[in-house]
Structure 1
Amino acid sequence: MKASHFLVASAAIALAACQPSSGQETAEAGAQPMHSEGYALAQAACAGCHSIEPMGLSPNPQAPEFPVIANTPGLTRETLTNWLIEAHNYPEQMDFYLEQDEAEMLVVYMLTLQSEDFHPPY
């Protein structure tokens, strides 16, 4: 086999390995944009005060870390969405409003931070 044919064959094998092989992987990929948009929104609107990453402390010590919020006992998609939509529940420092779709994107991202073995960073 010529070297150029070997390179082409190797590239084809590598590309094939990156393709989803099941419907579940495809479904997970479909959820990815919402997760990514939620992360981007969190970076833009929340990261000035909150730690939005799986690990780390918030820049504002009074602002709970997103993983702490996400792992609050009893927290559900519905309770978090309702809290984010009800702007009158926000502390005074969080003087902004989220549209329904923005809240949903944020919730999708925040729920990815849930973990059965979560321990607060402090």
Structure 2
Amino acid sequence: MLARLGLSFCLIGGLVSPASAAAPSIQRQAIEAGRTLAQSHCATCHAIGKRGQSPNPQAPRFATLAQRYPLDNLAEAFSEGILVGHGPMPEFQFDPDQIDSLIAYLRSVQSPVKKAKKRAPK
């Protein structure tokens, strides 16, 4: 009985593990697709990586976007077209798969939020 139970867990584990292992691969593919989109549509004005300054000083760096805007809110703007932004901000509209990839890429390059240093009272 225990042998069958152990075999059952092994078989179930074998069925679950490949799907779990595929998730990081799918995420990497989405991030790479988002990076490609950012490179072709955004890099003229924005610093799209984790470091560097934006070629257009009015264009925020991708690494700090989450400090300005909730990234999930950008998904709607990407689908409807971003009308407000730095000047001259072109109007882009992306399909749902492109939006998911671009958001995945944006999440991957976010800088950690710096905490203010506490000062000792005088």
Q: TM-score, normalised by structure 2?
A: 0.65
Which secondary structure does the structure 1 equivalent of 2:106 belong to?
Answer: helix
**What is the CA-CA distance between 1:88 and the residue it aligns to?**
5.1
Q: TM-score, normalised by structure 1?
A: 0.65
Q: In the TM superposition, what are the counterparts of 1:61-72 in structure 2 within 5 Å?
A: 61-69=57-65, 71-72=66-67
Taking only aligned residues, the RMSD between alpha carbons, in angstroms, comes to: 2.6
CA contact (8 A) 2:83 2:91 kept: no
* Counterpart Cα distance in 1 of 2:103 and 2:35: 10
| Structure 2 gap segments, 5+ residues each | 1-16, 116-122
Q: In the TM superposition, what are the counterparts of 1:1-122 in structure 2 within 5 Å?
A: 26-69=22-65, 71-72=66-67, 75-77=70-72, 79-87=73-81, 89-91=83-85, 92-118=88-114
Which letter does structure 2 place at the counterpart of 1:67? A
Task: Give CA deviations for 1:34-76 in whole Å, capped at 9, x if unaligned.
Answer: 110000110011000000000110001111110111x326614
**What is the CA-CA distance between 1:22 and the residue it aligns to?**
8.6
**What is the CA-CA distance between 1:27 and the residue it aligns to?**
2.4
* Counterpart Cα distance in 1 of 2:108 and 2:93: 22
Number of residue pairs aligned between Structure 1 and Structure 2: 97
CA contact (8 A) 2:82 2:92 kept: no
Q: Quick one: structure 1 residues 23 and 74, their matched pair in 2 at CA, closer, same or farther if it must change by over 3 Å?
A: same
| Structure 1 gap segments, 5+ residues each | 1-20
